[in-house]
Amino acid sequence: MKAIIAFLIVGAVGLSVYGGQLDSLRLWEGAAPGALGEEDKDVPTLTPYLPDPDKATGAAMLICPGGGYAALAEHEGKGYAQWLAGHGVAGLVLKYRLGSNGYRHPVMLKDVTRAMRLAKYKAGDWGIDPERIGVMGSSAGGHLASTLLTHFDSGHPDAEDPVERESSRPALGVLCYAVITMGENTHKGSRYNLLGSEPDASLIKELSNELQVTSETPPVFIWHTYKDGAVKVENSLDFAYALRKAGVPFALHVYEKGGHGMGLGGGHPWAGDCLFWLKEHGFVE
């Protein structure tokens, strides 16, 4: 059943009507844990793009843009969010902290984990079902999304902060030409920006997400292209194989043509295939 609920969101800067882009929210009210300063680059945020009430399905997707952990690609953030909203799914774009600004793991994981908790905490305000919030990421953002898919927790029920009591487990995942491993087939720039120049072997293993899949990992839609010259297709193949071994449902699409960083450009068929899969999982109608 479509959500036919209209809200008025009142903030310090005025009145926003439910539907469309809302104001960005800081993930933490004060300084984020591990913040190196107080500039915009030091403040992780979540920006909701809500569907029109007559289209809303109640589902949402937390979106992690790509950019090698050095930048955030708008077409893999806002672009995806507007596309999803057009199909009734709220898009929640995460601005996470970056290696190019001096941050390293676990800061990025803290940001995406907090974002999922915040999305569930705010679900009622945004007309979202907290049990139907997925995570989506492209390239290095796909690594961050796959990290959440394999490193979530059930929340901290005794936490003073009510946001921290929420589970960080996504309902499902969508991975677009994602970096998955920190091992042999990694994208070296992403690994450097995430882990530094000489990461410990245990850290490489921990953040090689094909090695972290369990039977509790949520279902995943994975797509990549054979001709991707930036992130090897083996990243997606190995993750799919790990899901298969763990008995986790997945859809894997490896397209012959296309390149890296495509997003929604070029009329590529991945978007239609993804919508079909999301329909099967009750995210779109």
Report whether 242 contacts 210 (CB < 8 A): yes
Report whether 143 contacts 235 (CB < 8 A): no
3-state secondary structure 181-218: CCCCCCCHHHHHHHHCCCCCHHHHHHCCHHHCCCCCCC
Rounded to whole angstroms, the Cα distance separating 43 from 5 reads 31
The verdict on residue 1 lying in a domain is no
Taking alpha carbons only, the member of 176, 234, 177, 174 closest to residue 210 is 234
Taking alpha carbons only, the member of 34, 49, 54, 150 closest to residue 96 is 34
| Three-class secondary structure of residue 108 per DSSP | helix
The domain in which residue 199 lies consists of 8-280
The verdict on residue 285 lying in a domain is no
Residues 240-260 as b/e (b if ≥16 CB within 10 A, e otherwise) read bebbeeeebebbbbebeebeb
Strand partners, 20: 50
Residue 1 has pLDDT above 90, yes or no: no
| Three-class secondary structure of residue 228 per DSSP | coil
The verdict on residue 63 lying in a domain is yes
Residue 124 has pLDDT above 80, yes or no: yes
Q: What is the DSSP letter of 222?
A: E
Rounded to whole angstroms, the Cα distance separating 21 from 29 reads 20
User: How much is the average pLDDT of 92-107?
Assistant: 98
The verdict on residue 118 lying in a domain is yes
The verdict on residue 52 lying in a domain is yes
Residue 4 has pLDDT above 80, yes or no: no
Instruction: Indicate the helix (H) or strand (E) that contains 47.
Output: strand 45-50
pLDDT for res 10: 30
Instruction: Assign residue 141 the CATH number of its domain.
Output: 3.40.50.1820
pLDDT for res 19: 73
The verdict on residue 211 lying in a domain is yes
Residue 6 has pLDDT above 60, yes or no: no
Query: pTM for the complete prediction?
Result: 0.93
Rounded to whole angstroms, the Cα distance separating 151 from 127 reads 27
pLDDT for res 122: 98
Rounded to whole angstroms, the Cα distance separating 178 from 209 reads 11
Number of domains the chain is built from: 1
Over residues 25-58, the pLDDT tens digits come to 999 999 999 999 999 999 999 999 999 999 999 9
Over residues 165-203, the pLDDT tens digits come to 999 999 999 999 999 999 999 999 999 999 999 999 999
pLDDT for res 261: 86
Rounded to whole angstroms, the Cα distance separating 82 from 189 reads 29
